[in-house]
């Protein structure tokens, strides 16, 4: 086992907050919320969404939009890590998603239902659209490759898989994160579940009404310190700890006392070898649903106390499902690295049941560790500790 640190040597991100990390940070610093009506496809479900605007026209017919979203984030991360497509390294690929793992093309299915025959272009797009297999093929990877489909914690879990592979010596370098597209299925599904809001989301706010869906991708390049040194690459950012647990409680609702989330956070802190007081801020799952924010808010307060700085970047991106963990890991790392985090967009009124206010505006950060949490359908709870190397 490799006991050294796992460095983040490249990051890339795309969401409604912007294309690329710098553009996203500028947008969030200015408090911009690019939420609006759905334009990507027709739907009678009229809910505000966080769409990614201005993606280049699709080059490959039938290709899933998720792949189109993943590509710019991947390219940004590879460039930041000074990696070419033919590095000769044994690369592992772990990516999370929800939509891209389903054969859910409504046009294909409705045609098949009517005629018992249908063109297979969208099926081909699906079969060629396994994110990890596609990225591995592009990079000539050679390490392990898998897509994590743990619903909304998929991106965070994928990062942990890459971290574990590197520690076990199964690859020289790993691509990790998540990607997901806005799609008719989850839009209708979340509406039916009664957890989608018809107003812009307001994480941790007393009057929050639910989530807004978003889309995007967040990608990290991870490598061991020794591996990075061999490539002549340095980075002060690292992935330090991960915890995961199951509530074993309910298919869609979190455990009311957040018992599983507490275990996940404690496991992540333990692996990182730090105390709660070492955490500078928490980038919370913060979906803006009544249940999630109440449970998560109480747990964070219980573990970290009243003074902890908390934000949810979903106020800028919407809930990007399988991409959320990847996107939020990128924003968490950027917050540590840059020494500031944006205000938790959408918050106005303290919820007495939660008992704390998230960040109200751009907030200065000093510290060497931050936490990103994810909760998911199925009772999954995950926590990821990201670190910033202390100056020698």
Partner 1 sequence: MKICGTGTVCAHGRGMAALESVLTSGAVPPSQIAVPFRDVPFPVYAVAPEILKDRTVLGEMRRADRFSKMATLAAYDAMAESGATLENPERVGIIFATAFGPHNTTFSFLDDILNYGDAGVSPTIFSNSVHNAAVSYISHTLKIKGPTWTITSFHDPFQQALLLAQVWLDEGRCDQVLVGAGDECGMVLNYVCSQKLAIAETAAQMRPFFNTAGPAVIPGELSVFFLLSRDTSGGVQIILRQKDLPAPDLLIVDFESRQLDLRSAQIPTGCWSHLIGATPVSTAFSCAVAGLMLQRQKVYCAGNLLNGYGGINSDFLSVRLQRIECNGKIGLYKLEEAV
Nearer to partner 1, 108 or 347 (CB): 108
E strand or H helix that includes residue 109: helix 106-115
Catalytic residue, chosen from 152, 171, 201, 240, is 152
Nearer to partner 1, 344 or 381 (CB): 381
Q: What tokens does 371 get?
A: 């936490």
Q: Are 89 and 168 a contacting pair, CB within 8 Å? A: no
Whole-number Å distance between alpha carbons of 149 and 271 = 24
Give contact residues for partner 1 (rule: CB under 8 A): 1, 43-45, 98, 101-104, 106, 109-110, 112-113, 116-118, 120, 123, 127, 130, 132-133, 144-151, 157, 161, 164-165, 167-168, 170, 184-194, 244-252, 260, 263, 376-380
Please state, as a whole number, how many other Cβ atoms lie within 10 Å of the Cβ of residue 172. 22
Catalytic residue, chosen from 171, 201, 240, 319, is 319
Q: What tokens does 130 get?
A: 């396994």
Based on the residue annotation, tell me whether 152 is a catalytic residue of this protein: yes
Whole-number Å distance between alpha carbons of 90 and 94 = 13
Any residues with CB less than 8 A from the CB of 319 and at least 6 apart, and which?
A: 152, 201, 211, 212, 213, 214, 287, 288
Based on the residue annotation, tell me whether 82 is a catalytic residue of this protein: no
Nearer to partner 1, 267 or 311 (CB): 267
Count of H-run helices and E-run strands, the chain: 12, 13
Give the pairing type, strands 173-180 and 91-96: parallel
User: What residues form DSSP beta bridges with 222?
Assistant: 8, 174
Name the minimum Å distance from CB 204 to partner 1.
25
Based on the residue annotation, tell me whether 368 is a catalytic residue of this protein: no
Nearer to partner 1, 87 or 246 (CB): 246
Nearer to partner 1, 43 or 75 (CB): 43
Whole-number Å distance between alpha carbons of 29 and 26 = 5
What residues are annotated to the active site? 152, 285, 319
């Amino acid at each position: 086992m490799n006991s050294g640190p796992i460095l983040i040597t490249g990051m890339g991100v795309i969401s409604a907050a912007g294309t690329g990390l710098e553009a996203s940070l500028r947008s969030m610093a200015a408090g911009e919320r690019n939420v609006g009506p759905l334009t990507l496809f027709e739907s009678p479900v009229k809910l505000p969404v966080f769409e990614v605007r201005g993606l280049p026209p699709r080059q490959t017919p039938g290709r899933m939009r998720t792949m189109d979203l993943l590509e710019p984030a991947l390219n940004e991360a590879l460039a930041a890590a000074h990696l070419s497509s033919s590095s000769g390294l044994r690369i592992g690929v772990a990516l999370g998603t929800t939509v891209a793992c389903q054969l859910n093309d409504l046009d294909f299915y409705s045609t098949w239902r009517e005629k018992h025959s249908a063109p297979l272009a969208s099926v081909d797009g699906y079969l060629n659209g396994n994110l990890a297999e596609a990225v591995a093929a592009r990079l000539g990877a050679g390490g392990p490759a898998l897509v994590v489909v743990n619903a909304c914690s998929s991106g965070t879990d994928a990062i942990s898989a890459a971290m574990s592979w590197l520690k076990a010596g199964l690859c020289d370098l790993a691509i990790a994160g998540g990607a997901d597209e806005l799609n008719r299925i989850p839009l209708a599904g979340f509406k039916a579940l009664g957890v989608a809001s018809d107003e812009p989301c307001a994480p941790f706010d007393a009057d929050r009404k639910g989530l807004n869906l978003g889309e995007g991708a967040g990608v990290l390049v991870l490598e061991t310190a020794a591996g990075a040194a061999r490539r002549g690459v340095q980075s002060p950012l690292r992935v330090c700890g991960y915890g995961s647990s199951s509530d074993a409680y309910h298919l869609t609702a979190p455990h009311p006392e957040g018992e599983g989330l507490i275990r996940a956070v404690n496991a992540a802190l333990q692996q990182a070898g730090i105390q709660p007081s070492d955490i500078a801020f928490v980038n919370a799952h913060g979906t803006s649903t009544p249940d999630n924010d109440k449970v998560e808010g109480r747990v964070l307060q219980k573990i970290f106390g009243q003074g902890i700085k908390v934000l949810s970047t979903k106020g800028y991106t919407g809930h990007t499902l399988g991409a959320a963990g990847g996107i939020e890991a990128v924003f968490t790392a950027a917050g540590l690295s840059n020494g500031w985090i944006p205000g938790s967009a959408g918050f106005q009124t303290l919820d007495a049941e939660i008992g704390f206010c998230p960040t109200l505006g751009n907030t200065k950060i000093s510290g060497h560790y931050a936490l990103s949490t994810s909760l998911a359908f199925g009772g999954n709870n995950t926590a990821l500790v990201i670190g910033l190397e202390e100056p020698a």
